[in-house]
């Protein structure tokens, strides 16, 4: 039943008709506004300020992916640059997350690379870090290839590894020493490349987290699963891994009490804060990830 529900919402995330209907409501509709910081950079920075005041670090993501023109890609890069400048001006504790498709990866690789170089140079100027979000499997090799090229000149860039992929451990070992966000995975992938059973994904997720930690690499553990969090807390204590070597990450608007509890226990807790007008795909993938998210959405909808 969980897989059927997941597949349904992943289908909706790519359905243009449903997207067009939903987008008419805007991000202020129902539960969407509870998990999206707003439409503008100013909205995002204001949200980050409030989260920082409660002891939470942040990373912001300007929503948008799969652009198909050079003009759109450059415009998206401009927003990333302006966002980094706004973060620096506001002096908030916040990184930047982005997707390479939003910067033109599907248009022209060199265009995407040039956009990334401009963004990373801005981040370097402000002593900030940029996370390349991992997308679907069809973009995996291109993402890692570009990451390796960028790392030759910039050390303030990392990416994410998705535990549901068979190749996750190999990719992780190839990226030893790099700041990685480790996640279970949010796209529908074929049985040829990805685990289909949740218990297999969970097992591999814990496996790659422990490998990266034991390698001495900085590890961002992105999960709302309290069982995973508890196990990693015990594991790091057992192996004398300092709290400075890892952080937990959660999505804005989800499990807020647990976020604060983790931060109060002395762990770095970073909140992934999305903003922008193109919220639909992001929102549907969040509903697909966990049945608990669907209940959260429905409760929010009927509370309005």
Residues designated as active site: 133, 181
Distance CA 197, CA 217 (A): 28
Distance CA 223, CA 185 (A): 10
Neighbours of 169 (CB within 10 A): 16
């Amino acid at each position: 039943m969980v897989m059927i529900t997941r597949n349904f919402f992943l289908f909706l995330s790519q359905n243009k008709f449903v997207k067009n209907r939903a987008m008419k409501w805007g991000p202020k509709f129902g539960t969407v506004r509870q998990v999206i910081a707003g439409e503008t950079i100013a909205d995002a920075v204001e949200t980050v300020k409030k989260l920082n005041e409660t002891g939470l670090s942040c990373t912001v993501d300007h929503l948008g992916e799969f652009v198909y023109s050079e003009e759109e890609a450059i415009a998206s890069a401009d927003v990333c640059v302006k966002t980094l400048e706004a973060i620096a001006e506001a002096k908030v504790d916040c990184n930047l997350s982005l997707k390479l498709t939003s910067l033109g990866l599907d248009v022209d690789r060199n265009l995407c690379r040039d956009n990334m170089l401009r963004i990373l140079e801005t981040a370097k100027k402000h002593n900030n870090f940029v996370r390349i979000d991992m997308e679907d499997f069809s973009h995996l090799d291109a993402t890692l290839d570009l990451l390796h090229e960028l790392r030759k000149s910039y050390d303030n860039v990392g990416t994410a590894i998705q535990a549901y992929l068979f190749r996750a451990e190999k990719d992780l070992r190839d990226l030893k020493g790099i700041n990685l966000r480790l996640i279970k995975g949010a796209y529908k992938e074929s049985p040829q490349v990805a685990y289909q059973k949740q218990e297999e994904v969970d097992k591999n997720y814990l496996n790659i987290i422990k490998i990266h930690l034991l390698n001495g690499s900085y590890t961002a553990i992105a999960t709302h699963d309290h069982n995973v969090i508890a196990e990693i807390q015990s594991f790091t204590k057992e192996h004398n891994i300092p709290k400075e070597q890892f952080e937990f990450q959660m999505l804005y608007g989800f499990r807020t009490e647990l976020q604060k509890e983790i931060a109060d226990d002395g762990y770095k807790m970073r909140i992934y804060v999305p903003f922008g007008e193109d919220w639909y795909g992001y929102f549907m993938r969040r509903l697909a990830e966990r049945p608990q998210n669907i209940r959260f959405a429905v409760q929010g909808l009927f509370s309005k």
